[in-house]
Amino acid sequence: MHQQPLIPNLFRTEFTKITAVLCKLFGIAQLQVAEDIASDTFLAALETWPYRGVPENPVAWLYAVAKNKAASHIARSKAFTVKVAPGLQKAMQRDDGIHIDLTEKNITDSQLQMLFAVCHPAIPTEAQVGLALRVLCGFGIDEIATAFLTNKETINKRLFRAKEKLRDEKVDIEFPREAEIPKRIGGVLITLYLLYSEGYYSESHDEVLREDLCLEAMRLTYLLLGNETTNLPAVNALLALMCFQSSRFKARKTNPSGLVFYDDQNETLWDATLVEKGARYLRKASQGNALTKYHIEANIAYWYTVKADTPDKWENILQLHNHLLQVEYSPIAALNRTYALAKANSKHAAIIEAEKLQLNTNAFYYALLGYLYTGIDTAKAKMGFENAIALAKTQADKLALRQKLEGL
């Protein structure tokens, strides 16, 4: 029997599309039903494909089955008919009963509308990220739990509550009115930013999963750019940031024992195409007067893609961090600012500033102190790296830090 190779992530991608389209059709209260039908569709594939071979057009096959399952679900469920059918009337077609539109346009629209529904202000941000991973990125509960370094029960509970909230708040799966978009887009971007960061900075060991998270965040951001009303400077800035960061993915992974520090990265492994794409989005982001933290962060990320260690580069990175911290404080920005200060001004100046930060539970804070004192005060450098190792959360980080300690 001829076995066709499956498209990577086919189920994951199609799960999100089918769920979004069905959910749009049924209403947000039926999110679970939409997910169940999507899952059932893959079960049907599992029951069939291994024995009969993968169909020529797997996607079309899945859509056909999903349509059938949705149609029979509607016919079967009395409660569903009573509650949902009135709303379905306009979607009904005279000849084949119900029309389930799985065209590319409707899929994109549905996913975009779903993105706004999921990022509804009524839902806690953390739950938004989880929900986005589930219904928009098609991640399994196991995968989400791994990404968040927690267990399945926690994620299940979190998603359950979020879905309940969507139902209670009667959130519509629709595109916000144009006047509403400036208000709503901020929440959407925060979720996409967190989704990306979860992948880029996660302490989870699963490299493949982490990269997938980043790619999904980029795909959804890209989706926003495809729509005229959401093709905004801030969205372009966020995608630019993601492109610049992702360009270093390969270079971060060359050390089998763990992550590779920026200074030690081999820049020939940086992805020039992504850098170029990032630059293009950043240019588009610069149209208009909006200056968001994504603009600043994208600019920082751009300068990090310049490997040459020029004073100009570090001065720019320093000033951008000075600005970013005024817009929004975060410990990681404070640490990166101090690193840039060492590069742009002097290690001595940076030590004075670093000692003021007092981020005493942060492993990276001590790693920074270790770095700053290297070559100046070996005892303090040693203490820094030792504290960092004690606080580091992953084996990979501990190993990388130990190498620094031994190099003193």
Partner 1 sequence: MDEFILIFRHEDGGKVASPEQIQVWMKQTMDWIGGIAAQNKFTSGTGLPFDDARVVWHNNVVTNGPFGAIKETIGGFIIVKADSVEEAVEFAKGSPVLQGAGNSVEVRKIARTQSTQ
| Tokens found for residue 115 | 């993105």
> Residue 31: enclosing H or E segment and its boundaries?
helix 31-52
Query: Phi and psi (nearest 5°) for 402?
Result: -65, -35
The DSSP code sequence of 66-96 is HHHHHHHHHHH-HHHHHHHHHHHGGGEETTT
Using the contact rule CB under 8 A, the part of the chain among 53-61, 170-178, 204-212, 312-320 near partner 1 is: 312-320
Helix (H, G, I), strand (E, B) or coil at 97: strand
Site for partner 1 in 320-349 (CB under 8 A): 321-323, 325-326, 329, 333-334, 337-338, 341, 345
Query: If we measure between CA atoms, which residue out of 261, 145, 121, 275 comes closest to residue 202?
Result: 145
Q: Which of 319, 347, 402, 408 binds partner 1 (CB under 8 A)?
A: 319
Among residues 270 and 303, whose Cβ is nearest to partner 1?
A: 303
Q: Which secondary-structure segment (H or E) carries 259?
A: none
Taking the C-alpha atoms of residue 150 and residue 133, their distance in angstroms, rounded to an integer, is 15
Please, what is the minimum distance in Å from the beta carbon of residue 384 to partner 1? 18
The 3-state DSSP class for residue 98 equals strand
Are the C-beta atoms of 130 and 162 separated by less than 8 Å?
Answer: yes
CA distance linking residue 189 with residue 336, whole number of Å: 22
From 132-140, 200-208, 242-250, 319-327, span contacting partner 1 (CB under 8 A): 319-327
From candidates 54, 114, 318, 368, binder to partner 1 by CB under 8 A: 318
CB nearer to partner 1: pick between 368 and 388: 368
How far apart (Å, rounded) are the C-alpha atoms in residues 39 and 18? 10
- Contact set for partner 1, span 339-398 (CB under 8 A): 341, 345, 353, 356-358
Residues 188-192: contacts with CB under 8 Å, at least 24 apart: 188/115, 188/116, 188/119, 188/224, 189/234, 189/235, 189/238, 189/294, 190/119, 190/125, 191/118, 191/119, 191/125, 191/128, 191/129, 191/132, 192/132, 192/217, 192/220, 192/221, 192/238
Which H or E element spans position 392?
A: none
Q: Which residues contact 348 (CB under 8 A, 6 or more apart)?
A: 376
The residues that touch partner 1, with contacts defined as CB under 8 A, are 315, 318-319, 321-323, 325-326, 329, 333-334, 337-338, 341, 345, 353, 356-358
